[in-house]
Each structure stands twice: as structure tokens, then as C-alpha cells.
Structure 1
Amino acid sequence: MIESLFGYNIQNSMNNDETKSKSTFPSKHVLEPKRLQNITILSKALNATSEQICQALIQGKGLCLQQLEALVKMVPTKEEEGKLFNYKGDINELGSTEKFVRAMLSVPFAFQRVEGMLYKETFEDEVVHLKNSFSMLEEACKELRSSRLFLKLLEAVLKTGNRMNVGTIRGGARAFKLDALLKLSDIKGTDGRTTLLHFVVQEIVRAEGIRVSDSIMGKICQKSSKVNKTEEEKEEGYRRMGLELVSGLSTELYNVKKTATIDLDVLASSVSNLRDGMSKLQYLVEKDLCNGEESENFVNSIKCFLSYADRNLRELQGDEDRVIVRVKEITEYFHGDVSKEDNPLRIFVIVRDFLGMLDNVCKELRRFKASHTPNPIATFR
């Protein structure tokens, strides 16, 4: 079908490719065929000659991120370096790829320079990402601690639990683990549909609605509407205003939900990797390349960057230490003993999952008017 549509002969194409392959690569190779093929592909992606690459490595500048990433993947093993340096035959017999790598190795510590330049190129983005993550964590702690509505919900859950457990050993509790929030949907009423979470939300919705309607803004709104309202209309008004507030809790705790996707160990590892990378770069310019005139430009370029990187890493370390303290404090405040937690950010995961359940209940309650909603209390009597 391809031949008839496009005049393309697969067999001939394959033969041509084989011919090209034979003419491109000489019969003598130092590197393994698969390794040679990979490096060849990477060297073509560089879009630069070996002279241009070597000059950029000597100067310590002039290579973009994509070129540096490709060069890092080309780093030869000690064995491959030895084979290239100890090759006794005619250099012209080597393929262009092997000549390319051999030329690079003529620059002192060539691939260490590549790694250092790549570190420098990606440093700013990595620091910004980490700072934003730590800032988000700090904001999440503030949101949880200062959210009046979230605390009201917890109070409602505690009171409801104590009312249901009155006369039992669990009655009169002064606190509960936040894990309990995720079990509220498991407790169903006698109708088989209404859950304990429905009940708690409806109660808090009504309470918040009354609070808002009694506020100054609420009274202004009431004056602009009809004065003589029936009890049913008042209840519907409370419900509507309260539901608006409760359904907005997810937005209020935006950073809490985002933080639930963060892995604190990964962030700590990233900060540690940045420190290690800077140490390697310092060793390269202060020890490996301290002698040699041809390394002077590279060393000067990197030394300017290192003072900048050091300041940023000190700030980043301060951010990390402060956030770890904040997370520990907020976990102890809501969840008790921190030492038993495998995941330091588990509290945020729990709250995120609870907010998802809360949103679903609010959506369900929006579908019904107060007059058509069954009395939630009756199902739990």
C-alpha cells in the first residue's frame, strides 16, 4: 500500500540505510556499537562542532540547557576513556563520534565542567521551585490554624459524636483524631442514605446562615428584601447563606489541598542535592582546576556563581528548617504526638480528602430546597 501510494520501496530503503551505515562508520570502532549509536544521536542533537563545544567548556559559558543535558548523557566510563586515549591506530580511522568524544577529553576535567555548567544553568529554577513549595507549606499551616469555619466544623463533629455516644465510655470526649473525619460518611442513618457527615454539614450550614443573617451585611440584605417572611422562607435564607460559606471552605484552604501532594522527603533531598552539587563544583574550581592558565576563565565564571549560590542555599536551608517546625507544630496542635507519624504531611492529606467529601455533600444539598429535605435529625434518633 505504501509503495503504491507513495512510490516508496521498503526493501530498497533498508538496503540504502545499510549502505549509508557502512559508509558512515568505519570498520574500526573503539566504543561498543550500542553505546556508539547512542552517543552519535546525542552529538547530532548538539548542533555544534567539537571545537565549539571544547571552547565553551574552556570559557565556562556558551552552551544552552539542551546541549548540556545531551553532553551529560555522553559521559564516558573510565574504561571507555582508556580505550579512546590508548588507541594506537590512525586517528582518522575513528568515526566522527569517537573523534568528538576524544576531542572533548582533551579539555581538563571536561565532563566535570559539563556537570558544573548544567548545575549552574538549572540552579535558579530549582531554588524557585523549592522556595515556592516551602512557602506553600507555610501558608497551608497558617490556613489550618486560622480557619474559623474549619474549627467550627471540628467542634460540630465533636459535639455530635459526644451526643451519639452519651452514656457510653466514648461519651464526653474532649478531642478526636482527624482520621475520624474520613469515617463520617460511613455512619448512615435509618433511611440508609443520610450520613453523619450530611447531618453535621446541615447543622453547621444553618448555624452559619443564622450568624451571617445577624451580621451587619446580613441585616442590610434583609432590609432590601421583603420584610414579612415566613419561617420557611427564613430557614431557606439561612440555608442558602450558610451553604455558600461552607462550600467555600475548599477555596479558603487552597494551599492545604495543594500541600497534600507534596513529599517533604523529596524536598529535603532536593535541598541536599543542591548542597552536594555546590560542594562538587567548589572542589572542581578550587582543587582540580586551581592550576592551569587555560582553566582561568572557567574558574572565574564559576566562582562568581558560587558566592550567589551559597547565599541562596543558606536562605533555602532557613526556609526548610522553619517549615519543618511549622508542620510539626500544626500536626501536634490538631493530631497529637508527631513521632508516630510516618508521613509528616499526613494531616494535610486527611484534610484534603475530607474537603473532597464536604464538597460532595454541599453539592447534594444544593439540589434540594429546605422544604423538600427530610429532617436529618430524625434519621439518627
Structure 2
Amino acid sequence: MLTKVKMPLPDLMSAALALDESVLDVDQVDNLIKFCPTKEEMELLKGYTGEKEKLGKCEQFFLELMKVPRVESKLRVFSFKIQFRQQIADLRKSLNTIDLASEQIRGSDKLKEIMKRILYLGNMLNQGTARGSAIGFRLDSLSKLTDTRATNNKITLMHYLCKVIASKSSYLLNFHEDLTTLESASKIQLKTLAEEMQAIVKGLEKVEMELTASESDGPVSMVFRKTLTGFISVAGAEVGSLSLLYSTVGKNADALALYFGEDPARYPFEQVISSLMNFVQMFRRAHQENCKQAELEKKKAQKEAQAEKCKSSKSI
């Protein structure tokens, strides 16, 4: 690692203590953390009384690190600072995606209309039974639309639904265009976002703890404290804003499950999104298959008509 360092070791440490991102990137800082001396190595070097120049570059590097109190902690602070903006941006983007997906789903009149038609279709098929007057259905039931087949085993209930909608309410066929963030939201796990949010909050707490501890370091940490104070001021506001967004998005995610009559504890946001995503894919696939079948039947009819025409001509 040290062979790649193209600057004097004192300058390297000055850049690290200044938290200067223009000199060191996160990989370099993480390497510095990885190669921090152990307690045993520091004890050995403390006992060295010879000339510093006679030591190897690695030992000289260790001596530079040992000049700084809690050097590993400071380097971890630096690593956190470098990654902070991107982590905040990525988490905010994911939260906004979830929020927008929830808003689009609940706000789609076309999706509501399709759900009404599915309910009507189910009640029609179950007419005369205990299930023939349902006022709703579970989201899991959407997958059964492709499981239920006609007696000829050629088409499914999904094909029939698409056919009915195409003939009577064709404006509903593009309902998926209301749900532009559904696919992106399907790739996000709320548990992962919770872990990322916690990591940012705890990371900032450690940064604040190191700032407090460094007050007794003396001149060696003067630039470090000044730079870190400015960073904490900005980062604190960012984390506060993100925490508020995280809380709001969590409530909206639960509200989405409730919107479909599901219990958020048993049917979480990810499951709602997954069910809807699968439904959209199955619906579009069935509609495409219907269109292909209709085209084949049209060509077959034209071919038969042409054959009949030729037969009539020969008869004359």
C-alpha cells in the first residue's frame, strides 16, 4: 500500500487530519485504517531509540500514525465523511422511490377500475356459492388469475379478463403507465433501508464522540477539529431531514397495505409491491398473447375466405 503513496508520510498524515478529500479517496483511507499498527507493534516502536531514517518505510509510517491520538478513530471519521454525501443521496433516492410508488398506486383510477372488474368477475364465477357475493379479495388472489383455466385448457382467467377489458374498456389496458416507479420500488427492501438509516445515525454519533475526545489532543488535532465541526453542522441537518423522510415513508408504506385491506404486519410493503408487479407482468403478457391469437385467427379466416373464393371461381 505504501509503495503507491507518492507523497511524504508527514504530508499524508496532514491530509488525513485535514479530512482533505481532494488528496485521499475512500479506498486510500480504508487502507490506512486496515494497516494501522497493533498495540504490540506500537509497543515495539515505542522502545526504539535509533535513527528514524534507518527504519523501513512501514515502521516510519507507523511512527507517523502514532503521533496522532486515536488515529484509527480519526481515519474512520474521515472514511465516513467521504462516503456521507453519496450514502445520504442513495438512501433519499430509495425513500423517494417508495413514496412515489405508494402515491402512484393509490392514485391510479385505472388500477381501481381493473380491481373492480376482477372482483365482479370473481363474483360472477362464484355465483350461487358462499363466495359469490364478496366485497373484496386478497392481493395474493391476483396470481390465481393465471391458474384458473377454461375447460379447453387453452386460455386462463387472466386472458379472459384482458379480452373483456380490451373489448369494453380498452382505455384501461395501459394502466401500468400510471405505475412508473413500481419496478424500481420492487427492487428495494425496507429492512435494508432501515439498516442504512441506522448506520448513518450511528456513524454521525461516532463522529461527534471523536470530536469531543479530540478537544484534549492539543495542536495536532486543531485542523481536524475545525474541519469536523463544520462537517457535523451540515451533516446533522442532513440526517435530521432524512430521518423525517424515513419516518414519513414508513407510514406511507404501511398505509399502502391498509389501502388494499391487508395487515402491514402480515403483508408488508415489499409483498404488496411484489404482488402488483407480478400482476402487471401477467396482465401485459396475457394481453399480448390475446393480440397474437386474434391476429392468427384473422389470418386464418382470411386464408379460408380466399380458399373459398378460389373454390367458387373454379365452380363457375
Interval of TM-score (by shorter of Structure 1 and Structure 2): 0.7 to 0.9
The answer (yes or no) to whether the contact 2:214–2:225 under 8 Å persists in 1 is no
Q: 2:75 corresponds to which residue?
A: 114
The answer (yes or no) to whether the contact 1:257–1:349 under 8 Å persists in 2 is no
Q: Scaled by the length of structure 2, what TM-score is found?
A: 0.86
Match of 2:28 among 67, 83, 87: 67
Task: Confirm or deny that 1:306 pairs with 2:232.
Answer: yes
The answer (yes or no) to whether the contact 2:186–2:277 under 8 Å persists in 1 is yes
More deviation, 92-101/313-322: 92-101
Task: Confirm or deny that 1:56 pairs with 2:15.
Answer: yes
Q: 1:196 to 1:47 in 2, by over 3 A?
A: farther
Q: 2:254 corresponds to which residue?
A: 328
Task: Confirm or deny that 1:362 pairs with 2:296.
Answer: no
Distance in 1, Cα, partners of 2:168 & 2:45: 79
Shift in Å, 1:118: 1.5
Q: What does the per-residue CA deviation read over 1:93-151, in whole Å, with 9 as the maximum and x for residues that have no partner? A: 65322332332222222222211111111111111111111111110011110111111
Moved over 6 A (4+): none
Matched AA of 1:148: D
Paired residue secondary structure (1:193): coil
The answer (yes or no) to whether the contact 1:260–1:349 under 8 Å persists in 2 is yes
Q: 2:95 corresponds to which residue?
A: 134
Task: Confirm or deny that 1:202 pairs with 2:163.
Answer: yes
Task: Confirm or deny that 1:144 pairs with 2:144.
Answer: no
Q: 2:196 corresponds to which residue?
A: 270
Give ranges in structure 2 of 5+ residues lacking alignment.
299-316
Matched AA of 1:69: D
Q: 1:66 to 1:168 in 2, by over 3 A?
A: same
Q: What does the per-residue CA deviation read over 1:127-181, in whole Å, with 9 as the maximum and x for residues that have no partner? A: 1111111111110011110111111111111111111111112110101111111
Equivalent residues in 2 for 1:62-101 (5 A)?
62-86=23-47, 94-101=55-62
Aligned residues: 296
The answer (yes or no) to whether the contact 1:185–1:195 under 8 Å persists in 2 is yes
Shift in Å, 1:84: 4.2
Shift in Å, 1:301: 0.5
Distance in 1, Cα, partners of 2:269 & 2:49: 59
Paired residue secondary structure (1:194): coil
Distance in 1, Cα, partners of 2:145 & 2:45: 68
Shift in Å, 1:46: 3.9
Q: 1:256 to 1:292 in 2, by over 3 A?
A: same
The answer (yes or no) to whether the contact 2:33–2:72 under 8 Å persists in 1 is yes
Distance in 2, Cα, partners of 1:82 & 1:113: 20
Matched AA of 1:43: L
Percentage of identical aligned residues = 23
The answer (yes or no) to whether the contact 2:16–2:75 under 8 Å persists in 1 is yes
Equivalent residues in 2 for 1:208-247 (5 A)?
208-209=169-170, 242=171, 245-246=172-173
Q: 1:180 to 1:74 in 2, by over 3 A?
A: same
The answer (yes or no) to whether the contact 2:68–2:220 under 8 Å persists in 1 is no
Shift in Å, 1:89: 7.6
Q: Scaled by the length of structure 1, what TM-score is found?
A: 0.72
Distance in 2, Cα, partners of 1:156 & 1:324: 30
Paired residue secondary structure (1:367): helix
Q: 1:46 to 1:273 in 2, by over 3 A?
A: farther
